[in-house]
Amino acid sequence: MLPVNILRVLHIDELERRENIRLQNIERIMRDTADTFSLRDDQFMDTFRLTKDMLMSGSDNAIKRGFMQTCQFPGTIGAIDCTHVAMIAPTFEEHNYLNRKGFHSKNVQIISDYGLRILNVNAVNAGATHDSFIWRNSETKTVGDSGYPQQCWLMTPIVDAIAGTPEFAYTRAQIRARNCVERCIGALKSQFRCIMGERKLRYKPRKVGNIINVCVILHNVCVAGHLD
């Protein structure tokens, strides 16, 4: 084997070794850490190769411009919705995890921008928790569907708005803006099928939440890198 080929093989082996270490770190984090986002900034950077700010934050003005340009809905800094992630019945407080659809889950609140980047995730709540309860304990101001209360910082659609009225025009724009988070959730679950519901996550609630958080981080890495 030529020296240059030997060096190439050694380089590839070293890259694989480092990647295996990184994947082991992610597995350890999911096992031992109560909240992935509570990692120190340097630990987060070493594990995911991006800072928390790069993944989960952005200029409010830039996000508002994006929603206005893509959805014609002004003053919006995020779209909110909840989604259920199936899991096995826990041994403690099992009834709290049985959702209205008849299976055990986490009810996960997700807020996204117009480009399907996730700005906020709350994977703490059990499946029986109502969307509006999760929202009431959130400090974020955004747009949501009719399952949420209308507030000055949360814009919801006007049910039965009459065509041709300002209320109808508002509701059409609001639905376009909210559709961003629906598409975001669809993309997230398509990428990481362990949370799609085809199979139940067979872990305790805390680890299920951590798996969801890691999936969100990796989703944002894909969005930032324009990866499918």
Q: pLDDT band for position 156 (50/70/90)?
A: confident
pLDDT in the model for residue 25: 59
Query: Is 162's pLDDT higher than 80?
Result: yes
- 126 forms bridges with which residues in the sheet? 106
Q: Among 195, 191, 189, which Cα is nearest to 207's?
A: 195
* Average pLDDT over all residues of the chain: 79
Poorest-pLDDT segment among 47-51, 69-73, 181-185, 197-201: 47-51
The pTM of the full predicted model, rounded to 2 decimals, is: 0.74
Q: What distance in Å separates the CA atoms of residue 119 and residue 196, rounded to the nearest whole number?
A: 20
Tokens coding 203? 């872990």
Decide which of 174 and 154 is more confident: 174
- Minimum mean pLDDT range among 37-46, 63-72, 89-98, 140-149: 140-149
Does the pLDDT of residue 128 top 50, yes or no? yes
List of residues 6+ apart from 67 with CB closer than 8 A: 73, 74, 76, 77, 113, 114, 177, 180
